[in-house]
Amino acid sequence: MLYEAAGPHNPGALDVAIMAAGDIGGLSLDAKSSNGDDHYGQYDRVRRIFMDWVSPSIAHLEFSPLQNLANYGWEKYRSNPIQASGLGWPLHALGDAANPHHVVATTSWGHRPYEDFVQKHWLQLFPSSSSDLLENPVYDPAQLHRIVEQGFYFWQGLNADPDIRKYVVGLAVQTRAQVRSQNDWAYNDSLSIQYELDGQEEAKAGYQGHEDRMRPLLEHGISAMVGLLMKAAEIARNPGLTPTTICPAGSQYDIFSLKCASVLYTCEEPKLVPIRTIRSTVVETCVQQVGVCGLDGKKCCSGFDCYGNVCTIPPR
């Protein structure tokens, strides 16, 4: 990112304001506290020393590109594929590469209103037939098919060329080309100005009616993440059995307290007396999730299946 070159054609109002504040206030990068110059700068095409980072104000400092962020995390994951934490960097980079404003490196041109609109109208962009997305997400089958199919093609591309930097740049180029082919509809600098002048809701409403243009961009971004995760799964190594989860005979590992427990989870399941008799309930002890079942006649509670002598939630 370089503020001097921000925007689809030129820097926006907020870009210029940030540049002016940087020059007037002498605002520069604190390279001693920042990790970015060390983590991502190592992949820059031109090697920079400490003074190269701190001398210019942020108005004229060229930050390391997005693909370097992805590369840092990807290399971190590849060096230790037991830990998935490194995947956060490339997944973040892919999310940015699917955003029209990130690919032209601008703080302005409707950047914040666009992102707020997407967050507010997520269920319009990714409709679900369920009111409880966490418990029972049921998405549009056609949309889900598109995302998975595109994810397969992204995975094929990453297999053909495993350079994660090219992978991120490829998605960014695709995002920019798609928006450009539609008359750069995503870029509206007046919406950023309006957003900063206490007109946030009105600014977000400026993207109303563009959902059909946003949706493919978001789908491509998610598909690229699917392709990356497929590749990560190929590299991943099984860490093996964790010794802390081994429990003595007669006890089990409790996923809630994270220690061995000798008492099984129980629940009370009401049983109705047959019709035409007085209604009453009988308390029945049953085994919940991760409890041992099938031994000594122990049964799983309603909603769980006994599989391998362990009560589990059946697949939907």
Number of structural domains (the chain) is 2
Expressed as residue numbers, the domain containing 207 is: 3-235
Is 11 within 8 Å of 4 (Cβ atoms)? yes
Q: What letter would DSSP give residue 266?
A: E
Residues 31 and 114 in one domain: yes
Tell me whether strands 252-254 and 259-261 are parallel, antiparallel or unpaired: antiparallel
Q: Which of 34-48, 203-217, 255-269 has the highest mean pLDDT?
A: 203-217
Confidence band (pLDDT; 50, 70, 90) for 247?
confident
Last residue of a domain, one of 181, 207, 235: 235
How does pLDDT run across 117-135, given as a tens digit for each residue?
Answer: 999 998 889 887 555 555 5
pLDDT at 172 over 80: yes
Residues 187 and 258 in one domain: no
Which pair of structure tokens corresponds to residue 298? 């122990």
Phi-psi region of 297 (alpha: psi -120 to 50; beta: other; left: phi over 0): left
In percent, the amount of the chain with pLDDT more than 70 equals 80
How does pLDDT run across 52-72, given as a tens digit for each residue?
Answer: 788 888 888 888 899 999 999
Mean pLDDT taken over the chain? 83
The answer for residues whose C-beta is within 8 angstroms of residue 161's C-beta and 6 or more apart is 167
User: In sequence order, what are the beta bridge partners of 254?
Assistant: 259
The answer for residues whose C-beta is within 8 angstroms of residue 193's C-beta and 6 or more apart is 13, 14
Residues 224 and 251 in one domain: no
Alpha helices for the chain (secondary structure H) = 13-25, 36-39, 50-54, 66-79, 88-97, 111-120, 122-125, 141-160, 164-180, 189-196, 200-205, 211-235
Residues 186 and 258 in one domain: no
Residues 112 and 247 in one domain: no
Last residue of a domain, one of 180, 209, 235: 235
Residues 191 and 53 in one domain: yes
DSSP 89-143: HHHHHHHHHTSTTTTTT-S-TTHHHHHHHHHHTHHHHS-BS-S-TTT---B-HHH
What local confidence, expressed as pLDDT, does residue 3 receive? 84
How does pLDDT run across 251-294, given as a tens digit for each residue?
Answer: 888 777 788 887 555 555 555 444 443 333 333 456 554 455 65
Q: What is the pTM of this model?
A: 0.73
246 three-class SS: coil
Residues making up the chain, counted from first to last = 316
Which pair of structure tokens corresponds to residue 275? 């019709």
What local confidence, expressed as pLDDT, does residue 40 receive? 83
Instruction: Please count the other Cβ atoms lying within 10 Å of the Cβ belonging to residue 127.
Output: 11
Confidence band (pLDDT; 50, 70, 90) for 246?
confident
Last residue of a domain, one of 172, 200, 235: 235
Q: How far apart are alpha carbons 287 and 34 in whole angstroms? A: 51
Q: How many helices (H) and strands (E) does the chain have?
A: 12, 6
What local confidence, expressed as pLDDT, does residue 315 receive? 47
